């Protein structure tokens, strides 16, 4: 890492929220049982059940999003079933075929700004059901969406309810990837609460790694009968930590005093400041994304100059002379760094 460069490449650049670190320090030499049977993990599960208003939910801690998605989804599917996802969905592209490794097809649908609609899902299922050769095809069984999406956009409660209804009517399970859920929950435009997710989905995960934890995601399954003997499934997948307390302590802290609901706020305020600066200086935003990821289009001639001062994500080719890039803020982003970034943007314009 170079000292004189600004880092806006992702939302996992620092280690962990100071409250979590403090708790690790306090508990370091305490002895505890292994494999998640410790008191910290139990407490964390109870707090998450409470926050989701779903006291019987299964709560399972994983070390990362790819593992959570792959293990949960493959366990929920029979061998001949597949998962519907957006073409831009994380499981469709950037998880190195983890779903396929475990034997299942990702059935992709074109998304609109990262989102699928209830109508698309219905149409996909109808097409399958009407095919004379449907028994020669993968059966759609799970719908996978992300909140926020890969493009930082948000589903509304109306949209999620419609999708949930279509799923129930067609014997589909609904799975929500919440890798960046804290940035949705802290957003003013957001209309979906944790309780809503628990009420409308069959499974979702509360992202830790990108939201202030050093590592960890909490999978929530309102009806845990869907995942019998899931500890053993996790064990054989290599997902179980001998010192499970390390995940328990983190989520216990994140769900104490509503830290998780508030932790994304800083990122959102600063992301808005960057967006405004981009627009004010004549840059085009790729889409109107209300969370912590900012997608903008930049003239290729300016790319090198920008990259000498700022570390950002090259998203994709936009056209022959422009590129889509992404900045991300997070819970730890400093306003002073944002101000420096805005200065660079101005000068480059």
Restricted to residues 247-266, the positions that interact with a copy of itself (CB under 8 A) are none
Find where tokens 């869907």 sit. 226
138 or 348: CB nearest a copy of itself: 138
By CB under 8 A, name the one of 30, 276, 307, 308 that touches a copy of itself.
30
Residues 207, 213, 217, 220: is their CA dihedral positive or negative? negative
Restricted to residues 276-335, the positions that interact with a copy of itself (CB under 8 A) are 313-314, 332
Restricted to residues 155-184, the positions that interact with a copy of itself (CB under 8 A) are none
What is the closest distance, in whole angstroms, from the C-beta atom of residue 193 to a copy of itself in the complex? 26
Q: Does residue number 336 form part of the binding site for a copy of itself (CB under 8 A)?
A: no
Restricted to residues 217-236, the positions that interact with a copy of itself (CB under 8 A) are 228-229, 231-233, 235-236
Q: Which two tokens mark 176?
A: 């929500």
Restricted to residues 92-131, the positions that interact with a copy of itself (CB under 8 A) are 93-98, 100-106
Stretch that binds a copy of itself, among 68-76, 181-189, 276-284, 290-298 (CB under 8 A): 68-76
What is the closest distance, in whole angstroms, from the C-beta atom of residue 309 to a copy of itself in the complex? 15
**What is the secondary structure of 179-245 as a DSSP string?**
TTHHHHHT-TT----HHHHHHH-SEEEEE-GGGT-SS-EEEEESSGGGSTTHHHHHHHHT---TTTH
243 or 273: CB nearest a copy of itself: 243
Stretch that binds a copy of itself, among 10-18, 41-49, 115-123, 269-277 (CB under 8 A): 10-18
Q: Does residue number 342 form part of the binding site for a copy of itself (CB under 8 A)?
A: no
Beta strand pairing call for 293-299 and 203-207:
unpaired
Find where tokens 């909490």 sit. 218
Q: Does residue number 19 form part of the binding site for a copy of itself (CB under 8 A)?
A: no
Q: Which two tokens mark 76?
A: 């929920």
Other beta carbons within 10 Å of 233: 17
Number of residues binding to a copy of itself, judged by CB under 8 A? 80
Q: Does residue number 43 form part of the binding site for a copy of itself (CB under 8 A)?
A: no
- Please list, in sequence order, all residues whose beta carbon lies within 8 angstroms of the beta carbon of residue 336, skipping any fewer than 6 positions away: none
Q: Which two tokens mark 346?
A: 């101005």
3-state secondary structure of 156: coil
């Amino acid at each position: 890492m170079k000292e004189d460069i600004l880092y806006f490449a992702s939302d996992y650049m620092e280690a962990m929220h100071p409250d979590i670190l403090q708790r690790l320090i306090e508990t370091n030499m305490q002895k505890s049982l292994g494999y998640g049977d410790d008191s910290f993990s139990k407490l964390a599960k109870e707090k998450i059940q409470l926050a989701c208003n779903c006291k019987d939910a299964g709560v399972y801690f994983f070390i990362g999003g790819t593992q959570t998605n792959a293990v949960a989804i493959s366990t929920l599917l029979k061998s001949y079933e597949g998962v519907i996802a957006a073409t831009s969905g994380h499981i469709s592209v950037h998880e190195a075929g983890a779903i396929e490794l475990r034997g299942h097809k990702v059935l992709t649908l074109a998304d609109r700004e990262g989102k699928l609609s209830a109508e698309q899902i219905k149409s996909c299922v109808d097409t399958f059901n009407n095919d004379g050769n449907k028994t020669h095809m993968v059966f759609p069984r799970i719908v996978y969406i992300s909140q926020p999406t890969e493009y930082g956009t948000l589903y509304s409660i109306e949209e999620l309810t419609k999708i949930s209804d279509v799923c129930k009517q067609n014997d589909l399970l609904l799975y929500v990837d919440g890798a960046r859920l804290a940035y949705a929950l802290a957003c003013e435009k957001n209309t979906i609460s944790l309780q809503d997710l628990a009420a409308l989905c069959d499974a979702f995960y509360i992202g830790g790694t990108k939201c202030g934890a050093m590592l960890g995601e909490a999978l929530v399954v309102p009806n845990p009968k869907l995942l019998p003997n899931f500890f053993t499934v996790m064990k054989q997948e290599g997902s179980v930590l001998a010192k499970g307390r390390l995940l328990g302590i983190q989520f216990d802290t994140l769900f104490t005093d509503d830290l998780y609901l508030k932790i994304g706020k800083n990122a959102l305020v600063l992301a808005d400041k960057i967006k405004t600066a981009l627009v004010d200086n004549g840059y085009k935003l790729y889409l109107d994304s209300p969370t912590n990821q900012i997608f903008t289009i930049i003239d290729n001639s300016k790319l090198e100059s920008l990259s000498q001062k700022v570390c950002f994500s090259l998203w994709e080719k936009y056209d022959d002379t422009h590129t889509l890039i992404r900045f991300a803020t997070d819970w730890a982003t400093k306003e002073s760094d944002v101000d420096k970034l805005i200065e660079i943007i101005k000068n480059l314009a």
